[in-house]
Amino acid sequence: MANRHLARSLAMQSLFEWDFGGKKDGEVGKIVGHNVKEFAPGLEDQTFVKELVEGVLKNREKIDSIIEKAAPEWPLEQVALVDRNVLRLGLYELLFGNRREVPPKVAINEAIELAKTFGSDSSGKFINGVLGTVYREIGEPGKDETSRKKIPANLEDLPIEEKAGAVVFRKEGKKILFALVHDVFGYWTLSKGSPEPGEDALQAAQRKVKEEFGIESLELGAELGRTEYLANDPEKGPVRRRVIYFLGETRDEELKLAPSGGLDGAAWFAPEDFEGLKTYPDIKPLLTKALKLIKP
C-alpha cells in the first residue's frame, strides 16, 4: 500500500512537470524515469507509475472536460498547477482505473492526501469537493458494477440514504414532452435530490426539481416508482441509496439548469426520442410508466 501511495506521488510529480514544461507528450517517459530514479530508486512497482501517467494523458481531453464542468467557477488554466494534476490523477483512477483494485473511495482519499501533501492549505478541501461532487451527483460511476458484486452479509445494517425526484412532463397540444437532465458522463437522467431537515419526500422532490430545472410551476401527483442500489459514498462508505420518483406536470416551456458540478444540460424529449437516449438502466422504465399514466 505504501508503494502504491509513493507511486501516485511520483505520477503526480511527473504530470506536474509535464504540465509546467509545456505539455510535451514525447518527454513523458524521460520525466517519469528521472523522477523514479531521483525520488524512489528502490520502488518495486514502477509500472504502476507509468500506467497512471499514461492513463491520464490518454484520457486527458475527457478528464479536463469533466474538471471544467465540475468546477465551473474555476477555468482549468486558473486552477493551481498541483491541484489541476491531482484532479487529473484522481479522476483517472475514479473513472478509468480498475475499480476492483482501486475502489472509488480509495481513489478519492488518495487524491485528497496528495493535495494535502503537495498543495496549499485549501487544496485538500478543493479536491474533495470536486471529486465528491462528481461521484455523488452522477449516481456513482460504476454503480451497475457495484450492484453485481457480492452483496454484503450485513446489508440490512448499511445506512440508508433517501432521495426524491420526479418524471416531469408538459403538454404541447396533443404532444407530450419530458424534461431530463444531462450529466457530465453523457447520460440523460431524472432530477433528484436529498430531503432537507423537516421535508418529506414529496416536498423534497418539489423543491429540488423546481430548483434544478429553473421552473416555477410544478404539480406533483402520485408516486411513480422507487429504485434502490448500493453505493460507496466518499465520506459515509457503503450505503443503500433509495430514490422515490413522483410524476409531475409543469406549464413552463423553458428549462434553466441550475449551476451544478455534476450536470451540464437540460432538455425536453418526446416519447419517440426515448429509444435513442443514453440513460441509466432504471430511467427508461420510469419514463415508459409515466407515459402510460398520462395517456391511459
pTM (2 decimals)? 0.56
Number of domains in the chain: 2
The pLDDT of residue 155: 63
Q: For residue 28, how many other CB atoms are within 10 A of its CB?
A: 20
Residue with cell 391511459: 296
What pLDDT digit, counting tens, does each position of 55-76 carry? Answer: 999 999 989 988 888 787 788 8
What pLDDT digit, counting tens, does each position of 138-147 carry? Answer: 555 444 444 3
Instruction: Spell out the alpha helix ranges (H) of the chain.
Output: 2-20, 28-39, 46-58, 60-70, 81-95, 104-118, 123-137, 143-148, 201-213, 283-294
Residue 178 lies inside a defined structural domain of this protein: yes
Above 90 in pLDDT, residue 183?
no
* Same domain, yes or no: 95 and 198: no
CA angle 106, 160, 143 (to 5 degrees): 45
Higher pLDDT, 2 or 155: 155
Round to whole Å and give the CA distance between 130 and 108. 10
Last residue of some domain: 73, 103, 137?
137
* Same domain, yes or no: 122 and 247: no
The pLDDT of residue 129: 84
DSSP 281: T
Q: Which cell numbers hold the place of 255?
A: 428549462
Which H/E stretch holds residue 176?
Answer: strand 175-183
Q: Which cell numbers hold the place of 97?
A: 482505473
* Same domain, yes or no: 37 and 64: yes
What pLDDT digit, counting tens, does each position of 238-268 carry? Answer: 778 889 999 999 999 999 988 765 677 899 9
**Range with the poorest average pLDDT among 74-88, 94-108, 119-133:** 94-108
The pLDDT of residue 2: 54
Domain with 55 in it: what CATH number? 1.10.940.10
Query: Residue 181 belongs to what domain range?
Result: 155-294
Non-local (6+) Cβ contacts of 242 within 8 A are 160, 161, 162, 163, 226, 227, 228
Residue 143 lies inside a defined structural domain of this protein: no
The pLDDT of residue 147: 39
* Same domain, yes or no: 194 and 82: no
* Same domain, yes or no: 183 and 286: yes
